[in-house]
Structure 1
Amino acid sequence: MTVKDDSFTNWKNREEIAESMIPIIGKMHRERDVTVLIHSRSLVNKSVVSILKTHRFARQIVGEELSVTETMPFLQALTTLDLGPSQIDIGILAEDYRADSRGLSVEAFTAEAVAGATGENKIERRDGRDVVLYGFGRIGRLVARLLIEKAGSGNGLRLRAIVVRGGGDQDLVKRASLLRRDSIHGQFQGTITVDEANSTIVANGNEIKVIYANDPSEVDYTAYGINDAILIDNTGKWRDREGLSKHLRPGIDKVVLTAPGKGDVPNIVHGVNHDMIKPDEQILSCASCTTNAIVPPLKAMDDEYGVLRGHVETVHSFTNDQNLLDNYHKADRRGRSAPLNMVITETGAASAVAKALPDLKAPITGSSIRVPVPDVSIAILSLRLGRETSRDEVLDYLRDVSLHSPLKRQIDFTTAPDAVSMDFVGSRHASIVDAGATKVDGDNAILYLWYDNEFGYSCQVIRVVQHVSGVEYPTYPVPTV
């Protein structure tokens, strides 16, 4: 047999194993609220090739190949356990097992690693929590996709309604079409039908009421059977407590803003300060996409090296706030054509750091350039550190943070030598450290952080909503960094 035949046979064998994983992963998700991960990447509802590619990605960040032949025994071991709602990373399980020298069986090692999610320790499945989207633009539609994707067993977040202003004839059909097809993020994964008579969009079996209103005061959500809901405001029209309080109508318990909050509104970056949310807090903000991109790696660097000062320069994709062609705009420069120009503008991300990291005393400055790409941005974070270090040390540390720390859902890591912005469309992390571009000289470090300013940010929003709703389940093995 030739080498070529050997490679093809090996591929077919791995395809067969990945195919057998799919029903196990799906059943655990539907029946137990267990999400199976590979290095923080969910395998739920993934195809055979997607599962194999997710395993292959481990080579980039761990430096070793990860095969389904290694992870399948851990997945099978999980099926024998009395698991409660949780997220279980079989990639980390396999990696930790390699390093373990005690000679335990896969079954015994797995049972030990996920003990917090089994038997008397497990979390009981909770009733679902109603969610309402106020506004249905770029972020609103991506958040909707994520909520529908994560409906799973029906015991998590349930998208019950969307509130928009009336748009004339065929409004419902057009909005459903925008949810179904996206020029950047591709086709919706599933089926969408429209019930115009009942003003409802049905997506993968989820009935979503479309409510037309020009102001929050016009809506009584209990009239639609919605109670104790979390409302996600995607409009950015109101950003202080007084304005956002208008949403606290019958049926709404909490309000989450997808823009930086003003005044005393808490700005939350999941993974960094979400544990500081008070149980009785009804209004909070998820800050900006750029704040979410820079705060997790900034915290990681401060924890290890200390940060004395910093500057962030964001090279940001253009947004709907800009004009397609030159026209009047209330802001300086943003009236110039977005697809044709690089546009110098301001960012509030640097000042927002203080809200998310109040213990960080280092001054952080920032500026931004909008560039002619429709999605994915990069933040160049220049830091003066508290001690001297080396490039290799920083990269080893950040790689470890991306794999094993509580920030592993926020910070990703790539060693791809030819990485460009389009490679990160659809990334679920808040930011991705580009190892090849990183520069370190003594106590100065420059990090290049890619981020999908639409989808990655939407994932952070969902994580905050899961946390305040009580359906954010623990991850095993427990992070060690």
Structure 2
Amino acid sequence: MTVNEDLFTNWKNREEIAESMIPIIGRLHRERDVTVLVHSRSLVNKSVVSILKIHRFARQIAGEELSVTETLPFLQALTELDLGPSQIDIALLAENYRADSRGLSVAEFTAEAVAGATGPDKLERAGARDVVLYGFGRIGRLVARLLIEKAGSGNGLRLRAIVVRGGGGQDLVKRASLLRRDSIHGQFRGTITVDEANSTIVANGNAIKVIYADDPSAVDYTEYGISDAILIDNTGKWRDREGLSKHLRPGIGKVVLTAPGKGDVPNIVHGVNHDTIKPDEQILSCASCTTNAIVPPLKAMADEYGVLRGHVETVHSFTNDQNLLDNFHKAERRGRSAPLNMVITETGAASAVAKALPDLKAKITGSSIRVPVPDVSIAILNLQLARETTREEVLDYLREVSLTSSLKRQIDFITAPDAVSSDFIGSRHASIVDAGATKVEGDNAILYLWYDNEFGYSCQVVRVVQYISGVEYPTFPAPVA
């Protein structure tokens, strides 16, 4: 057999193994509410090639490719356990097993590693929690896609309605079309139909009522059978407690804002301070996409090295609040054509750090430049540390944080030498450390942090909603604190 034939045979064998994994992953998700992960990346509803690519990506963060031949035995072992709702990372199971010297079988090791998801300690499957989207713009539609995707098990979160202002003829059809097709994020994964008679969009079997209202006070959600729902305001029109309280109508239990909150509204960055949310808190904010991008790595660096001061410069994709062509705008510079110019503007991300990391006493400043790309931004975080270190030490530390820490869903790590912004469209992490661009000299560290300011941020929003709804399930093996 030639080398080429041997390589192709190996590929076909791995394809066959990945294909055998799909029904197992699907059954675990639908029947037990278990999400199978590989280095924090979900394998639910993934194709054969996607499963193989996710395994191959492990070389970027773990130093070597992970084979499906290694992970399949652990996946099979999970099917023999009485699992409760959870997230289980089979890549970490395989890696931890290699490092274990006790001579346990795969089945024995797996049962021990996920013991918290079995027996008397396991969670019981909860009923669905109603969710309402107020607004249906860029973030609203991506959050809708995520909620529909995560409804596959029949538990957890259930998108019941969206609230929008009436847009005239064919309004429902046009909104469904925008959900179905996206110029940046591609086609919706599934089927969408429109029931105009009942003002409903049906996406993958989820009936989503479209409610037309010009003001929150005009809606009684109980009329639509909605109860104790979490309302996600993605309009940004109201940002303080008084304004957001308008949403606390019959049928609504909590309000989550997808923009920085003002006044005493808590600004939450999942993975960093979500555990500070008080059970009786009805109104909170998920801060901004840039805040979510910089706060997790800033916390990681502060925990390990200490941070005396810092500055963040964001190179940000243009957004809908800018003009397509030169025209009047109430803000300085933003009236100039977004796709034709780099535009210097302000960012509130630096000041928002204090809300998410109140124990961090370092002064963080920030500024922003909008650039002519439609999605994915980069934050350049320039830090003065409390002790000297080396580039190698910082990169080793951040790689480990991305793999095993409690921030592994927020921080990703990439070593690809030719990575550019479009490579990160669809990233589910809050930020991605670019190892090749990282600079460290003495007590100064400069981190380059990519982030999908639309999709990655939407994932963070959904994580917060899952947490406050009680359906954020534990991950096994448990991350290192």
TM-score (norm 2): 1.00
Match of 1:472 in 2: 472
Write the mapping of 1:376-387 to structure 2, written as runs, cut at 5 A.
Answer: 376-387=376-387
In structure 2, what is the Cα distance between the partners aligned to 1:39 and 1:152?
A: 21
- 1:309-365 Cα offsets, whole Å, 9 max, x none, are 000000000000000100000000000000000000000000000000000000000
Measured after TM superposition, the shift of residue 192 of structure 1 is 0.1
Match of 1:446 in 2: 446
In structure 1, what is the Cα distance between the partners aligned to 2:293 and 2:129?
A: 28
Write the mapping of 1:398-413 to structure 2, written as runs, cut at 5 A.
Answer: 398-413=398-413
Write the mapping of 1:172-251 to structure 2, written as runs, cut at 5 A.
Answer: 172-251=172-251
- Is 1:30 matched with 2:26? no
- 1:409-457 Cα offsets, whole Å, 9 max, x none, are 0000000000000000000000000000000000000000000000000
Measured after TM superposition, the shift of residue 154 of structure 1 is 1.2
TM-score (norm 1): 1.00
- Is 1:59 matched with 2:59? yes
Which letter maps to 2:439?
A: K
In structure 2, what is the Cα distance between the partners aligned to 1:152 and 1:177?
A: 22
Measured after TM superposition, the shift of residue 170 of structure 1 is 0.1
In structure 2, what is the Cα distance between the partners aligned to 1:326 and 1:155?
A: 48
Match of 1:159 in 2: 159
Measured after TM superposition, the shift of residue 122 of structure 1 is 0.2
Which letter maps to 1:204?
A: N
In structure 2, what is the Cα distance between the partners aligned to 1:375 and 1:102?
A: 48
Measured after TM superposition, the shift of residue 60 of structure 1 is 1.0
- Is 1:43 matched with 2:43? yes
In structure 2, what is the Cα distance between the partners aligned to 1:259 and 1:102?
A: 50
Write the mapping of 1:96-115 to structure 2, written as runs, cut at 5 A.
Answer: 96-115=96-115
- Is 1:2 matched with 2:2? yes
State the identity as a percent. 89
Judge which range, 61-70 or 350-359, deviates more. 61-70
In structure 1, what is the Cα distance between the partners aligned to 2:331 and 2:38?
A: 44
In structure 1, what is the Cα distance between the partners aligned to 2:156 and 2:431?
A: 26
In structure 1, what is the Cα distance between the partners aligned to 2:400 and 2:106?
A: 24
Write the mapping of 1:306-345 to structure 2, written as runs, cut at 5 A.
Answer: 306-345=306-345
Match of 1:394 in 2: 394
In structure 2, what is the Cα distance between the partners aligned to 1:260 and 1:218?
A: 25
Match of 1:424 in 2: 424
Which letter maps to 1:170?
A: Q
Measured after TM superposition, the shift of residue 152 of structure 1 is 1.6
- Is 1:135 matched with 2:135? yes
In structure 2, what is the Cα distance between the partners aligned to 1:81 and 1:167?
A: 51
Structure 2: unaligned runs, 5 residues or longer: none
Measured after TM superposition, the shift of residue 89 of structure 1 is 0.2
In structure 1, what is the Cα distance between the partners aligned to 2:408 and 2:193?
A: 36
Which letter maps to 1:410?
A: Q
Measured after TM superposition, the shift of residue 52 of structure 1 is 0.3
Match of 1:74 in 2: 74
- 1:56-94 Cα offsets, whole Å, 9 max, x none, are 000111001200000000000000001000000001111
Q: CA RMSD in A?
A: 0.4
Secondary structure of 1:245's partner? helix
Which letter maps to 1:331?
A: A
Secondary structure of 2:408's partner? coil
In structure 2, what is the Cα distance between the partners aligned to 1:479 and 1:100?
A: 17
Match of 2:20 in 1: 20
In structure 1, what is the Cα distance between the partners aligned to 2:307 and 2:438?
A: 16
